[in-house]
Amino acid sequence: MPQFAYRARNAQGGLVEGVLDCADRAVAIRQIEQQRCIPIRIESVATEPKIAERDKSTTAPATQKLKIPHGQLLVFTEQLGHLLRAGMTLDEGLSILMKRLKQPRVQQMTQTLHQALVDGRSFSQALREFPRIFPPLYANMVAAGEASGALPDILLRLVKHLMQAKNLRDRVQQALIYPAFLALAGVALITIFITFMVPQLTGFMSQSGGALPLPTRILLQIHHAITAYWWIGVILAIGAVIGFRAFVRTDEGRTAWDRFRLIIPGYGQVIRHRYYAQFSRTLGTLMENGIPLLRSLDLVTEIAGNRFLELKLGEVRRAVIDGATLSAALQAQHLFPDLLTDMMSVGEQTGHFAETMQTIADVYERELDRNVAIISALIPPVIIVLIAIVVGFVVYSILSAVFEMTHSLQFRPH
């Protein structure tokens, strides 16, 4: 019977090597997986010298600064998951992806990951060499997959999670593109109108003699301030930006700013609902894949992107360590709405916590879509009304000057 030399990772992350007597290679892979191990490489004993030869090969070193587009990460993860599910080892899957994926940075990353396996490191350890590509959430879920022997399923779940996070972020950005463009266009229109058109329309009026109406004088003073003292505005703007950046670099300043962002009318609600959905989806995914609750809390804290929320979640973690349930700890901090903590409590009591968190994520993603739709629908008319008020004031100022000049001409002696 043929013999196959193998290298695999056990549930504790240790490297296991040996030889199996199997009818074919597929049977060898199934036997290794039945031992709750992740096969890294399987070769016929006749080709074992090639294994040693390949171990001596060199690959490009990993770099802390390497980064690839999010779409390429999705492709890499999905294809690797499918290859592993089809019965290939990590070694073979990465070798195929090195040839299949043509993007140079992706090839460099894949080659480095492959060499890390050859050198004896686990896949999750190799992923941590690329912090700008694979976040801690990604590496920890892969580590859970290695420990549970379900790495292919974990990778495909990661693809789903990454796509949901990307779609959530894209929906918010796309909904705000038109209002932002309209606001910039309105500011540019008003600036051009006051800076260039107003002087030409009112210049000849001031030559006619007589006092100009108050609205016209105010308009001319605004024009004078913009054209003569624009540099003061630039200096103040630069100073404000520098001061703000210095403020948010401090722990107290960053916490205060992040807390303020959460209570801004409209915008704060979008930020809160986006984090509720992200928190629930990520926590549910982590728990579903066997990562302990405390470690899962650490990971969702790292991806919060808000210092105030990070501090609050730190207090929640300490309460959980002291014996409180997660729902009770969150409710005590007044960090999440009652609906979320009540649904979470039901999941804790029924033993379906991960499924409940996914349901909560669906609820708040729908709420987020609704809020974004409402805000994006309200912003354009508000901007249009503001532009109309400014333009109306300019027109009224000019017309009042015209009427005043006409009135003075009627009563001027010939």
Q: pLDDT for 83-93, tens place per residue? A: 988 888 888 88
Looking at the fold, whether 334 and 360 belong to one and the same domain comes out as yes
Domain presence at residue 104: yes
On the question of pLDDT at 31 being above 50, the answer is yes
Domain presence at residue 356: yes
Domain presence at residue 158: no
Domain presence at residue 408: no
pLDDT one-digit tens code per residue, 212-233: 678 777 877 877 787 788 889 8
Q: State the residue range of the domain holding 86.
A: 70-134
Among 134, 149, 182, identify where a domain stops.
134
pLDDT of residue 207: 61
Looking at the fold, whether 315 and 358 belong to one and the same domain comes out as yes
Domain presence at residue 215: no
Domain presence at residue 214: no
Among 109, 134, 159, identify where a domain stops.
134
pLDDT of residue 58: 40
Closest CA to 115 of 135, 130, 137, 100: 130
**Total structural domains in the chain?**
3
Domain presence at residue 395: no
> What pLDDT band is residue 11 in, cutting at 50, 70 and 90?
low
> What pLDDT band is residue 206 in, cutting at 50, 70 and 90?
low
pLDDT one-digit tens code per residue, 361-373: 889 988 888 887 8
Looking at the fold, whether 286 and 344 belong to one and the same domain comes out as yes
Percent of the chain with pLDDT over 90: 14
Looking at the fold, whether 297 and 360 belong to one and the same domain comes out as yes
Looking at the fold, whether 12 and 36 belong to one and the same domain comes out as yes
On the question of pLDDT at 50 being above 70, the answer is no
pLDDT one-digit tens code per residue, 238-256: 999 999 999 999 989 999 9
CATH number of domain containing 345: 1.20.81.30
Looking at the fold, whether 352 and 307 belong to one and the same domain comes out as yes
Domain presence at residue 49: yes
pTM beyond cutoff 0.85:
no
